[in-house]
Chain A
Amino acid sequence: MSLQVKLVLLFLFLEDFIFGVFLFLVRRGTLVQQSTVWTGLLLSAVGVGLAAWLARGLVQPLRSLVGAARKIAQGDLDVRLQVTTKDEVGLLADAFNRMAASLKATVEALNRKVRESQTLYEISREVNGQVAYEPTLDLIAEQAQHLLGADAGLVALRQGETDVFTTQAVSGHIADSFAGTHFTLNGSLGERVLSFGTPAAADGDAGRTHPHPEAALPSVLGVPLRVHDRVIGVLYAASREPDKFDVDAERLLAALGDQAAIAIETARLHDDVKAYARELEAMVALRTRELKDLNDQLTEASQHKSQFLANMSHELRTPLNAILGYTELILDDIYGAVPDKIRDVLGRMQLSGRHLLRLINDVLDLSKIEAGRASLSLGDYSMRAVVQTVFTAVESLAKEKKIALTVSLPNDLPPGRGDERRITQVLLNLVGNAIKFTETGEVRIEASARDAEFQVTVADSGPGIAEADRQRVFEEFQQVDNTSTRNKGGAGLGLAIAKRIVEWHGGRIWVTSRLGEGSTFGFTLPIRVETAGAA
């Protein structure tokens, strides 16, 4: 208990005592004199004044203390008490001040940590939000600089699995000198970072002869950039200020490094994927171009082939026509009477010559169609007339072979539109084949119209076509080869041409057959063909 307090207590006690004595004397009538009363009152007043003065010295510091405590409670950690005395009050104030200072330091440290966490969070969000590779690296260097209050930030990445590192991004003071610089980590803090996988700080070594981040500035801090326990690089912060970086800074940069490494790897994968996608696109484009070129070449070659065949056929026909012409002239006795023996041989020459001419004409026809040089000559026609024309053309042939040739046509066939000459060619081919391959029985031609299509069938009682051969009869040079068809002539081009003509009109052609029971060839044609389909 301080002297001041003792004095106050003593005084209060004395005052009570003096006042008590005074009252006692008054009651007893002992103090009746005026002067005595005044003396008592004066004594009391002096006592009160003395007490008030003494109290001031004690209450005032207590009040300050309460006020300061309130301010601290309100968050003002800078409040301090003025310590003037060495007594208990002074000691109390001193303790209070130290407590306030410690509180302030703690709160500031906490605030800093919160700020750091926040910053880290924001950085990692920003860094991870960045998907392009180079901007990610730039951002990391920048953030390392700012987060540590450094003069520079730097990202160096390892080249594959080698010991060579390359400065990939620089922010701040050392910008230009280290951009793109290659260096090894030998003897550097980076090596320590790499070896131990932990942060390392070093004094800068400006005297280094080789370009190196540690030569950049007096104080350098490095942390590993790690992905799945593999160090992919080092993140540096550098400062002009010696011993700039403490343990907190290391911790902070390491935390940033962890985030950065993930972001770098993500960006790298993203870039890899993009690069791969570009590569694929380029490859696809290249292949497409190559295929297109090849296709163009093939188309051209195919046209050359067709053109060649067309020319060839024409060239073959000219001398053949001369042979046939002379033969006919000889057979007509233009050069004199021909003995029967020679006439017979000439007749066989003429048949073979005509057969050869038909083959050449077929090849010419097909190649012209394939070369795209033939066109459909569209016009109105009567299917009845087409059937009639064909019937007339083959009638005598059927009669010769004693084959019944019958026609079945409804009376109300609508007028058609198409290439009459080509359609006649198709039907003539089918009927001609049927008669050619049928030895006994009949060949029956039927035509009808249904659903905007003509359907024409040619049924024979010939040998029939085996199933395996049915698919091939419409291909070029695919005449069914068996004893019954051999020596019938024809190159097997007629059906191929017929198929093209039918499809050209937008129709289709088919065959049904049973071996030994005959075959039925049929085709459809749109009744009105306004534009030619693909040949």
Chain B
Amino acid sequence: MGGRILVTEDNEDNRRTMHDLLVSAGYEVYEALTGAEGVSMAGAQRPDLILMDIQLPVFDGYEATRRIKADPALRGIPIIAVTSYALGGDEVKAREAGCDGYVAKPFSPRQLLAKVREYLP
């Protein structure tokens, strides 16, 4: 168990709960507040997994995902999209942008942890 996770999320509470959950589960957590920051931190930290919120300032999670997946050095990092739009089509859009997984808000911490463990057991 363990691993380094980048949480790209602009909402402080969401960031905090994800952080507390993942840290307590034994992961190392980095935080980015915007799509742009997410892309730069992905390059700087080379995390094992990225949790990517979709509604983000500067540019959104889809765009951040596209940029990270366009970088051959970062392409291998799995990205789980976390979207607050529980609408049909979001999952498809996330996959098209290059996301490897998908979690719809609202999620319970336990659901999220289960999803994370699919990639970082």
Q: Bound pair: A and B?
A: yes
**Contact across chains for B13 and A319 when beta carbons are under 8 A apart:** yes
Q: Is A67 an interface residue (CB 8 A)?
A: no
Q: Is A268 an interface residue (CB 8 A)?
A: no
**Contact across chains for A334 and B24 when beta carbons are under 8 A apart:** yes
A325 to B21, CA, bound (A): 9
**Which of B32-40, B61-69, B93-101, B103-111 forms contacts with chain A?**
B103-111
Contact A324/B21 with A318-B11, A377-B88 known, Cβ cut-off 8 Å:
no
The 3 closest A-B pairs by CB, nearest first: A322-B13, A325-B17, A334-B24
Give per-residue flags for B54-98: 1 if the beta carbon is below 8 A from chain A beta carbons, else 0. Answer: 000000000000000000000000000000100110000000000
Question: How many residues of chain B are within 8 Å of chain A by beta carbon?
Answer: 16
Interface on A for B, CB 8 Å cutoff? 314, 317-322, 324-326, 328-329, 332, 334-335, 357, 374, 377, 421
Contact A325/B84 with A318-B11, A335-B20 known, Cβ cut-off 8 Å:
no
For B17, the chain A residues whose CB sits under 8 A away are: 322, 325-326, 329
**Contact across chains for B84 and A324 when beta carbons are under 8 A apart:** no
Q: Is B14 an interface residue (CB 8 A)?
A: yes
**Contact across chains for B20 and A328 when beta carbons are under 8 A apart:** no
For B87, the chain A residues whose CB sits under 8 A away are: 374
CB distance from B56 to the nearest CB of A (A): 14
**Contact across chains for A328 and B84 when beta carbons are under 8 A apart:** no
CB distance from B25 to the nearest CB of A (A): 9
Residue of B nearest to A360 (CB): B106
Residue of B nearest to A322 (CB): B13
Contact A321/B106 with A329-B21, A334-B24, A335-B20 known, Cβ cut-off 8 Å:
yes
For A321, the chain B residues whose CB sits under 8 A away are: 13-14, 105-106
A317 to B20, CA, bound (A): 20
Set B11, B84, B88, B109: member contacting A314, Cβ < 8 A: B84
**Contact across chains for B84 and A332 when beta carbons are under 8 A apart:** no
Contact A318/B84 with A325-B13, A328-B110 known, Cβ cut-off 8 Å:
yes
For A335, the chain B residues whose CB sits under 8 A away are: 20
For A324, the chain B residues whose CB sits under 8 A away are: 106, 108
**Contact across chains for B88 and A325 when beta carbons are under 8 A apart:** no
